[in-house]
């Protein structure tokens, strides 16, 4: 089974991505990306999955359990931090849009049913991580300690300026040890075109995933809309080609009772992290905020 799923290979009709845990060969983590045309609506049954409703471009209204959340969204993942909603398992969710929307639903199979909840963009922390050409923006909208209203689901967004490296040093989370927990992970990529804002299949990036035993050893070119699955092993770097900024949505879930995104660096390359204190960050980060483009 290929870990790299190019755009179109997971399509369900007009929807760009429909990935259930069974499609990935694992147990917990899933992703849907829906495309709603202007003036249309869609009813989603969550079943045994909790999910975030995360606008990628455009805005929408979310109706669930008698509640109504208006998500203003954004023009592009490269223009601003978005508001979002959490929807529980065993729910009927209606999504509607006036002007059209492309929306991601990162999902996790779970046992507890929580209440729906709105996440305002203004409350989402934006972190600048790394230094030098390993500087990137991490938008921590759905991570433990920031968003604790979830049973199994973890999610965050990354923006890597063109020419930079992210998900580095390579790291893994496939064992329950002192430094890591078991999480299945999805990378969903969007690549900006030459204007740095609008997504395009012209650009590309690079992604690496490998295991110490050599069973997995993949170096792939990723383009706008591609998905990469991380069942186990070290992953990173993700490299944005010069001229083409890279975005990716990380979705993680696993069997641990307490949500965590703990990981272990590859010991061969972990020393690089220690050099960042003496290296200034790339001034292009942060790229976005709740108010819009920063630079």
Res 106 pLDDT > 70: yes
Per-residue pLDDT tens digits for 149-164: 999 999 999 999 999 9
The reported pLDDT for the residue numbered 222 is 98
Average pLDDT over residues 98-119: 98
Domains of the chain: 4-111+120-276 (2.60.120.10)
- Report if pTM > 0.75: yes
> Is-contact 93 64, C-beta < 8 A?
yes
The pLDDT > 90 percentage for the chain reads 98
Query: For residue 13, what pLDDT is reported?
Result: 87
Per-residue pLDDT tens over the stretch 42-61: 999 999 999 999 999 999 99
* Distance (Å, whole) CA 159 – CA 157: 7
What residues have CB less than 8 Å from 38, skipping those under 6 apart?
Answer: 97, 98, 99, 100
Tell me what pLDDT residue 115 has: 98
Contact 60, 103 (CB under 8 A): yes
Residues found in the chain? 295
Q: Are the C-beta atoms of residues 173 and 266 closer than 8 Å to each other? A: no
Confidence of residue 295 (pLDDT cuts 50, 70, 90): confident
Least confident span in 12-21, 79-88, 91-100: 12-21
Per-residue pLDDT, averaged over 106-127, amounts to 98
Closest residue by Cα to residue 85 from 144, 22, 150: 150
What pLDDT score does 259 carry?
97
Answer yes or no: is pLDDT of 14 > 90.
no
Kindly state the tokens that stand for 5: 């799923």
Please check the confidence at residue 130 and state whether its pLDDT lies above 90. Answer: yes
pLDDT for the residue 2: 86
Provide the mean pLDDT of the chain: 97
Closest Cα partner for 265 from 152, 161, 134, 164?
134
- On the question of pLDDT at 1 being above 80, the answer is no
User: What's the pLDDT tens digit per position in 162-188?
Assistant: 999 999 999 999 999 999 999 999 999
């Amino acid at each position: 089974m290929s870990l790299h799923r190019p755009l179109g290979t997971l399509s369900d009709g007009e929807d760009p991505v429909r990935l259930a845990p069974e499609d990935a060969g694992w147990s917990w983590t899933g992703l849907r990306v829906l495309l709603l045309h202007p003036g249309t609506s869609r009813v989603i049954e969550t079943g045994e999955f909790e999910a975030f409703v995360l606008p990628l471009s455009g805005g929408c209204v979310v109706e669930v359990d008698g509640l109504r959340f208006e998500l203003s969204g954004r023009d592009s993942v490269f223009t601003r931090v978005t508001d979002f909603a959490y929807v529980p398992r065993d729910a009927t969710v209606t999504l509607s849009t006036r002007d059209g929307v492309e929306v991601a639903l990162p999902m996790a199979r779970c046992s507890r049913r929580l209440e729906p909840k709105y996440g305002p963009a203004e409350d989402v922390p934006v972190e600048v991580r790394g230094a030098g050409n390993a500087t990137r923006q991490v938008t921590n909208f759905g991570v433990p300690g920031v968003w604790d209203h979830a049973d199994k689901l973890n999610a965050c967004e990354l923006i890597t300026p063109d020419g930079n490296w992210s998900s580095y040093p390579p790291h893994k989370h496939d064992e329950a040890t002192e430094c890591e927990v078991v999480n299945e992970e999805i990378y969903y990529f969007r690549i900006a075109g030459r204007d740095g804002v609008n997504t395009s299949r012209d650009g590309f990036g690079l992604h690496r995933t490998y295991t110490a035993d050599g069973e997995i050893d993949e170096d792939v070119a990723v383009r706008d809309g591609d998905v990469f699955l991380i069942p186990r092993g070290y992953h990173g770097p993700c490299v944005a080609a010069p001229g083409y900024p890279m975005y990716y949505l990380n979705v993680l879930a696993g069997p641990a009772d307490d949500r965590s995104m703990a990981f272990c660096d590859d010991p061969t390359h972990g020393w690089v992290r220690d050099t960042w204190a003496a290296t200034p960050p790339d001034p292009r980060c942060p790229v976005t905020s709740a108010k819009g483009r920063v630079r």
